[in-house]
């Protein structure tokens, strides 16, 4: 009896690996094209750190004419969550990061290299496990849980490296006959790799992000096929990345220490190993120190957080590119209107230690992103968001024609307003433009510099009676406010007042503020002329009269 007989006994129905090698053709892609993937377990939760990996991986694929695919790694069925795949797919879609291939919902997929869900690839893994068994590169291990516990206890007591390796690998050297007998006997078993590695030897590895790293070789006889017949992640990923033509494995650096094992697997399976790029996690400042952004402690670690508060998806992706390559910021400054697809991301320029998370920066980017939207897109996006998250805002936006006028204020010009960072800011931002809301809320008439009620009333009344004309263009409108300033003894020009501030109680800006506050009950608003255009005479006068009461 030889290894072949053992392999046949264990996997009688498995196909020859040549079947799969021929079935999955080499990809026909341009030179330098990167094929990469996002390979989550279907736990439903998408961490900002995962989105970060996706943004990077997908961008690298896109900018080289390659392929980005989604592979669901569901071989650890204990960790699975119902509809976990949908959660992931929806998050990617929400952020405009749909993959080129892979799962598109719980059950369907696109692409020629599937199935893209590991639990459906059992036959493939078993074929390769059989192939290793045939060559004596893998073996059945009959260790019972008690035996393994005992081994661990001994290793702990002797303070030696834990694991199933070397002399501890009790079933590594069974003869084929002994193994066959145990199997025929019905003894339960799993399949382990017969590692040729030695702990006292080093491998050199060049990581695209981390640079050169040295590791001891892997000498653990890791499990490759579990008792349920499914592979472990380590074994499955090597076969999948080989058959799916992955050129670059781009993933979180918690996997860096698995590289010796992964390279060994590729070698033993006689596959060409992909390049590895291990991304440092996103960090957060905490109590003067730094720690990983945490699913448990930080609400902003969940990508759903950004959807819920309504940060536009491009802003989140742009932020992530920003922390991926520090030269992005300069590029953005020089190319304020370019699409991010024009930025060339470089893996080897990524930071080796983690980037620091900064919500202020995300919101800042979001403000710029939104400032470039048309009134129409703001309307669409805000309505869409409000439909799920804010009924009041949704109702406010029902009058589309009016809402478009409101969103059109100071927009579409060279320096558009930058006051909205997220859709949850919109209500507060536009409420005063709606009479029902304006009168229902307590108004905040704080006129800043001018505090004398009599003077305030005089300014407002004069403005209504003498200076307001709904047909004035902006220049005339503003000249009239200057006239009004002069009439009440204030400086016409801010500049003049600055030269001799003792000469007047204030300047035209203070008069504008009185009018602005009376009109909107806010000291800061976008352009008052445009606001007046949208409100119209009747509504303006009603507000002014209300303010003078
Ligand atoms: N399934 C692994 C995870 O959940 C993927 C690791 C990899 O990308 O190779 O992180």
Of the pLDDT bands very low, low, confident and very high (cuts 50, 70, 90), residue 80 is: low
Give residue 178's domain range.
3-15+122-279
Q: Give residue 39 CA to ligand 1 midpoint distance, Å.
A: 5
Could you tell me if 158 and 248 lie in one domain? yes
Of 36, 50, 255, 273, which is best to mutate to test ligand 1, by the most ligand atoms within 8 angstroms of its C-beta? 255
Judge if the beta carbon of residue 261 lies within 6 A of ligand 1. Answer: no
Judge whether residue 498 has pLDDT over 90: yes
Tell me if residue 351 falls in helix, strand or coil: coil
Could you tell me if 139 and 191 lie in one domain? yes
- The number of folded domains in the chain is 3
Could you tell me if 197 and 143 lie in one domain? yes
Judge if the beta carbon of residue 195 lies within 6 A of ligand 1. Answer: no
Phi–psi pair at 114, nearest 5 degrees: -80, -175
Of the pLDDT bands very low, low, confident and very high (cuts 50, 70, 90), residue 45 is: confident
Judge if the beta carbon of residue 111 lies within 6 A of ligand 1. Answer: no
The Cα–Cα gap between 138 and 264 comes to 13
Give the nearest ligand 1 atom to 237 CA. Answer: 9
Could you tell me if 405 and 542 lie in one domain? no
DSSP notation for 199-215: TTSEEEEEETTTEEEEE
Could you tell me if 134 and 262 lie in one domain? yes
Judge whether residue 162 has pLDDT over 70: yes
pLDDT, one tens digit per residue, over 59-68 is: 999 999 999 9
Tell me what the mean pLDDT of segment 415-430 comes to: 94
pLDDT of residue 81: 74
SS (HEC) of 232-265? CHHHHHHHHHHHCCCCEEEEEHHHHHHHHHHHHH
Judge if the beta carbon of residue 255 lies within 6 A of ligand 1. Answer: yes
Q: What angle do CA 139, 143, 144 make, to 5 degrees?
A: 145
pTM: 0.89
Judge if the beta carbon of residue 50 lies within 6 A of ligand 1. Answer: no
pLDDT, one tens digit per residue, over 344-401 is: 999 999 988 888 999 999 999 999 999 999 999 999 999 999 999 999 999 999 999 9
Q: Give residue 233 CA to ligand 1 midpoint distance, Å.
A: 8
Q: Is residue 152 part of a domain?
A: yes
Could you tell me if 130 and 269 lie in one domain? yes
Give the nearest ligand 1 atom to 250 CA. Answer: 8
Using only the alpha carbons of the chain, give its radius of gyration.
Answer: 33
Judge whether residue 247 has pLDDT over 70: yes
For position 542, which CATH number holds?
1.10.10.350
Judge if the beta carbon of residue 41 lies within 6 A of ligand 1. Answer: yes
Q: Which of 515, 464, 508 is nearest to 488 (CA)?
A: 508
- Of the given ranges (74-78, 253-257, 490-494), which has the lowest mean pLDDT? 74-78
Of 76, 121, 237, which is best to mutate to test ligand 1, by the most ligand atoms within 8 angstroms of its C-beta? 237
Q: Is residue 37 part of a domain?
A: no
Of 36, 37, 41, 58, which is best to mutate to test ligand 1, by the most ligand atoms within 8 angstroms of its C-beta? 41
Give me the half-sphere count of Cα atoms (radius 13 Å) on the Cβ side of residue 233: 12
Alpha helices, H only, 390-501: 391-396, 400-408, 426-430, 435-440, 453-462, 474-487, 494-499
Q: Is residue 147 part of a domain?
A: yes
Q: Give residue 211 CA to ligand 1 midpoint distance, Å.
A: 20
pLDDT more than 90, % of the chain: 91
Q: Give residue 71 CA to ligand 1 midpoint distance, Å.
A: 9
Tell me what the mean pLDDT of segment 531-537 comes to: 97
Angular region, 187: left φ>0, alpha ψ -120 to 50, beta rest: beta
Judge if the beta carbon of residue 73 lies within 6 A of ligand 1. Answer: yes
Which residue has the least CA distance to atom 1 on ligand 1?
Answer: 40
Could you tell me if 417 and 470 lie in one domain? no
Task: Report residue 453 as tokens.
Answer: 């009620």
Tell which of 238, 258, 279 closes a domain. 279
Tell which of 279, 294, 329 closes a domain. 279
Q: Give residue 251 CA to ligand 1 midpoint distance, Å.
A: 7
Give the nearest ligand 1 atom to 41 CA. Answer: 4
pLDDT of residue 319: 96
Q: Is residue 216 part of a domain?
A: yes
123 and 112 in contact (C-beta within 8 Å)?
no
Q: Is residue 183 part of a domain?
A: yes
Give the nearest ligand 1 atom to 241 CA. Answer: 9
The Cα–Cα gap between 88 and 368 comes to 28
Judge if the beta carbon of residue 249 lies within 6 A of ligand 1. Answer: yes
Phi–psi pair at 101, nearest 5 degrees: -140, 160
pLDDT of residue 79: 65
Task: Report residue 78 as tokens.
Answer: 């204990």
Which residue has the least CA distance to atom 3 on ligand 1?
Answer: 40
Could you tell me if 129 and 240 lie in one domain? yes
The Cα–Cα gap between 111 and 109 comes to 7
pLDDT of residue 514: 97
Q: Is residue 402 part of a domain?
A: yes
Tell me what the mean pLDDT of segment 181-186 comes to: 97
514 and 454 in contact (C-beta within 8 Å)?
no
Q: Give residue 192 CA to ligand 1 midpoint distance, Å.
A: 20
Q: Is residue 115 part of a domain?
A: no
For position 153, which CATH number holds?
3.40.50.620
179, exposed or middle or buried, with CB in 10 Å at 0-12, 13-18, 19+?
A: buried
Angular region, 286: left φ>0, alpha ψ -120 to 50, beta rest: beta
Could you tell me if 414 and 474 lie in one domain? no
Q: H helices then E strands: how many in the chain?
A: 24, 13
The Cα–Cα gap between 418 and 363 comes to 11
Tell me what the mean pLDDT of segment 29-51 comes to: 92
Q: Which of 195, 175, 327, 174 is nearest to 268 (CA)?
A: 195
Q: Give residue 259 CA to ligand 1 midpoint distance, Å.
A: 12
pLDDT more than 70, % of the chain: 100
Q: What residues form DSSP beta bridges with 48?
A: none
The Cα–Cα gap between 13 and 328 comes to 53
Of 35, 38, 73, 76, which is best to mutate to test ligand 1, by the most ligand atoms within 8 angstroms of its C-beta? 73
pLDDT, one tens digit per residue, over 214-239 is: 999 999 999 999 999 999 999 999 99
Give the nearest ligand 1 atom to 38 CA. Answer: 8
Could you tell me if 179 and 268 lie in one domain? yes
Q: Is residue 234 part of a domain?
A: yes
Which residue has the least CA distance to atom 5 on ligand 1?
Answer: 39
Could you tell me if 408 and 460 lie in one domain? no
**In 49-80, which positions are buried (b, 16+ CB within 10 angstroms) versus exposed (e)?**
bbbbbbbbbbbbbebbebbbbbbbbbbeeeeb
Tell which of 263, 279, 295 closes a domain. 279
pLDDT, one tens digit per residue, over 296-355 is: 999 999 999 999 999 999 999 999 999 999 999 999 999 998 999 999 999 999 988 888
The Cα–Cα gap between 450 and 374 comes to 36
Phi–psi pair at 68, nearest 5 degrees: -120, 120
The Cα–Cα gap between 195 and 187 comes to 23
Q: Give residue 170 CA to ligand 1 midpoint distance, Å.
A: 30
- Cβ neighbors of 451 (< 8 A, separation 6 or more) are none
Q: Give residue 250 CA to ligand 1 midpoint distance, Å.
A: 9
Give the nearest ligand 1 atom to 37 CA. Answer: 8
Q: Give residue 56 CA to ligand 1 midpoint distance, Å.
A: 15
Of 35, 37, 38, 39, which is best to mutate to test ligand 1, by the most ligand atoms within 8 angstroms of its C-beta? 39
Judge if the beta carbon of residue 253 lies within 6 A of ligand 1. Answer: no
Judge if the beta carbon of residue 20 lies within 6 A of ligand 1. Answer: no
Could you tell me if 400 and 507 lie in one domain? no
- Cβ neighbors of 257 (< 8 A, separation 6 or more) are 215
DSSP notation for 495-530: HHHHH-GGGSS-BHHHHHHHHHHHHHS-S--S-HHH
């Amino acid at each position: 009896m030889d290894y072949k007989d053992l392999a046949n006994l264990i996997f009688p129905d498995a196909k020859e690996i040549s079947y799969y090698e021929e079935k999955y053709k080499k990809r026909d892609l341009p030179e330098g094209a990167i094929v990469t993937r996002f390979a989550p377990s279907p736990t439903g939760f998408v961490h900002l750190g995962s989105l970060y990996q996706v943004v990077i991986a997908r961008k690298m694929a896109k900018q080289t004419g390659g392929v980005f695919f989604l592979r669901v790694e569901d071989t650890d069925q204990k960790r699975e969550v119902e509809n976990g795949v949908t959660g992931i797919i929806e998050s990617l879609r929400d952020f405009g990061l749909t993959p080129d291939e892979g799962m598109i919902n719980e059950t369907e997929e696109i692409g020629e290299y599937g199935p893209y869900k590991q639990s459906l690839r059992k036959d493939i893994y078993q074929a390769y496990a059989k192939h290793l068994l045939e060559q004596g590169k893998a073996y059945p291990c009959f260790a019972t849980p008690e035996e393994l516990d005992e081994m661990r206890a001994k290793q702990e007591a002797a303070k030696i490296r834990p694991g199933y390796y070397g002399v501890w690998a009790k079933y590594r050297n069974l003869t084929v006959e002994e193994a066959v007998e145990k199997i025929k006997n019905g003894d339960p078993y799993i399949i382990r790799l017969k590692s040729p590695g030695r702990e006292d030897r080093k491998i050199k590895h060049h990581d695209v992000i981390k640079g050169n790293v040295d590791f001891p070789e892997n000498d653990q006889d890791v499990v490759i096929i579990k008792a349920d017949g499914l592979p472990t992640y380590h074994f499955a990923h090597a076969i999948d990345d080989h058959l799916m033509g992955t050129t670059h494995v781009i993933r979180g650096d918690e996997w860096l220490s698995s590289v010796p094992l992964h390279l060994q697997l590729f070698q033993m399976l006689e596959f060409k190993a992909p390049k590895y790029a291990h991304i440092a996690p996103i960090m957060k400042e905490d109590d003067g120190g730094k720690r990983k952004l945490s699913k448990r402690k930080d609400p902003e670690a969940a990508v759903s957080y950004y959807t819920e508060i309504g940060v536009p998806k491009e802003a989140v992706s742009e932020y992530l590119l920003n922390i991926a390559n520090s030269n992005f910021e300069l590029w953005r400054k020089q190319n304020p209107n370019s699409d991010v697809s024009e930025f060339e991301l470089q893996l080897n320029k990524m930071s080796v230690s983690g980037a620091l998370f900064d919500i202020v920066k995300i919101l800042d980017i979001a403000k710029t992103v939104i400032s470039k939207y048309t009134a129409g897109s703001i309307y669409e996006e805000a309505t869409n968001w409000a439909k799920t998250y804010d009924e009041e805002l949704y109702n406010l936006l029902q009058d589309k024609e009016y809402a478009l006028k409101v969103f059109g204020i100071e927009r579409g010009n060279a320096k558009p307003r930058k006051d909205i960072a997220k859709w949850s800011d919109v209500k507060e931002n536009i409420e005063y433009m709606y009479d029902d809301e304006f009168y229902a809320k307590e108004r905040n008439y704080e006129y800043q510099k001018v505090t004398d009620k009599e003077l305030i009333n005089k300014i407002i009344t004069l403005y209504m009676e003498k200076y307001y004309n709904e047909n004035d263009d902006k220049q005339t409108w503003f000249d009239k406010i200057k006239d009004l300033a002069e009439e009440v003894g204030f400086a016409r020009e801010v500049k003049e007042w600055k030269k001799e501030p003792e000469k007047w109680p204030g300047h035209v800006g203070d008069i504008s503020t009185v009018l602005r506050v009376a009109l909107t009950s806010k000291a800061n608003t976008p352009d008052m002329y445009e606001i007046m255009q949208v409100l119209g005479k009747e509504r303006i006068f009603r507000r002014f009269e209300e303010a003078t009461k």
